[in-house]
Amino acid sequence: MKRVHVSGRTRGWGLWLLLGLTCVVAGCKKDPDGADAKPVEPVVTLGQENVTRAEVRELQSGPGISGTLQARTAAAVRAEVGGTILDIKAEQGQRVKKGQELARIEDATRRDQLIAARTTVRTASSAVQVARAEEERSAMLAKAGVITQREFERAQLGVSQAEGQLAEARSRLALAQEQVGRARIIAPLDGVVSERQASAGDVVQPGAPLFTVVDPRTLRLEAAVPAAQLEQVKTGTPVEFQVTGYGERAFSGKVERINPVVDPGTGQVRIYVAIPNTDLELLAGLFAEGRVASQERRALAVPVDAIDEANGGPSVLRIRDERVQRVPVKLGLRDDVAQQVEVRSELQAGDLVLLGSARDEVGEGSRVKVQAPRPESKPVAEDGPGVGGSEAPPAAPNQQGHAPSTQPSTRGTAEGATSPSR
């Protein structure tokens, strides 16, 4: 048998040829289903906080306002005379009627002055009677020629002087009576005592504050709007607002007055809103925030955060058939308080659109999957200090406005699921 000698160089080329054939065979191999292998398309997983649906809702537009609720009718009750407070008959939060006594100031000295004034009036009244009788006698004597005309005129002058003294005495009596009455502190209106600044035994001077009485049935909100938006504000325009401590509950009022002068420092105009409060639900001093509802409409709307205006015009990223589509839209009324904007074209009620960071990170044409909502999940409390002033607990994942989830799709790597990087 003839031997064939194979050199080392020949063996090397044979090895490379074998490897090449192996690669060709492996490249032409089909998957078990008989289909050619193709690159796997990634799937972006989105949480519920990354999407929202277009819905028909009530939209309102107008200048935003904020301020503190004040009692429309309030009275500061002050001491009209000086002295020691003998008794307090009203406390904070107590309802009072107009004319009801709230407190009493020591009035012994003023009562003595009243007695003296009454005595002076009686004396002056007697003097007038004597002067008039003297005038009548003088008139008869002058007519008989017993006395001269000059003496008769002197009698008439005596009557005038006596009447003047009587008028002065009566004036002093009225003043003394008024001073005694001022020692009684009375309510100037029907309402509620909101403040009490004095106590029994205090020595007060005229003008010292004692009580504040307010009528809580009508409140007032004093706010300011930019002068550039003044055309949207008219007397009688409705105002919608929310009050601290009442959650999402809405209250309403009407513009009652508009200040005719623009503040040169801020360029704003003061407006005064009347707020009915017959059921006494609202309290003066609470902070209110809302807007003048100059326009109101029920229309299809999406959150402002869903609108992308970086491509030359407003558009949204809509999810349809698990694909992201860029849809140009025409916008209408914008509700700055609810952070919603009207969409007048292209979208329909129920369409799913991307929000916030998801809108920025998920490209047009991407394949996406939206996670189903978890019924067992509970809303996370608003960030803030915990009990005793401790720091707030860390926020739970998947809160609204966060970037899309970085967890892979439940389909696993078989479907090539991925998530956009932050």
pLDDT at 379 over 50: no
pLDDT at 399 over 80: no
Around Cβ 357, how many Cβ atoms within 10 Å? 17
At 38 the pLDDT is 62
Q: Give the length of the chain.
A: 422
pLDDT at 26 over 80: no
CATH of domain 64-72+215-296: 2.40.30.170
Query: Any idea which architecture 107-182 has in CATH?
Result: Orthogonal Bundle (1.10)
pLDDT at 21 over 70: no
Q: Residues of CATH 1.10.287.470 domain(s) within the chain?
A: 107-182
* Tens-place pLDDT, residues 313-333: 888 888 888 888 888 889 888
Query: Any idea which architecture 48-55+299-374+399-418 has in CATH?
Result: Beta Barrel (2.40)
At 279 the pLDDT is 85
Taking a C-beta distance cutoff of 8 angstroms, is the pair 59, 297 a contact?
yes
Taking a C-beta distance cutoff of 8 angstroms, is the pair 339, 356 a contact?
no
> Which of the 8 DSSP states describes residue 96?
E
Contacts of 36 (CB under 8 A, 6+ apart): 30
* Tens-place pLDDT, residues 338-357: 788 889 888 888 888 888 87
* Tens-place pLDDT, residues 190-228: 999 999 999 999 999 999 999 999 998 989 999 998 888
Q: If DSSP codes are grouped into helix, strand and coil, which group holds residue 313? A: coil
Please give the residue that has the higher pLDDT: either 255 or 38.
255
Taking a C-beta distance cutoff of 8 angstroms, is the pair 330, 345 a contact?
yes
Radius of gyration for the alpha carbons in the chain, expressed in angstroms and rounded: 45
* Tens-place pLDDT, residues 116-137: 999 999 999 999 999 999 989 8
> H or E segment at 327?
strand 323-328
pTM of the model: 0.54
| Residue 24 one-letter amino acid | V
Contacts of 75 (CB under 8 A, 6+ apart): 188, 189, 191, 212, 213, 214
H-helix segments, 45-195: 108-144, 149-182
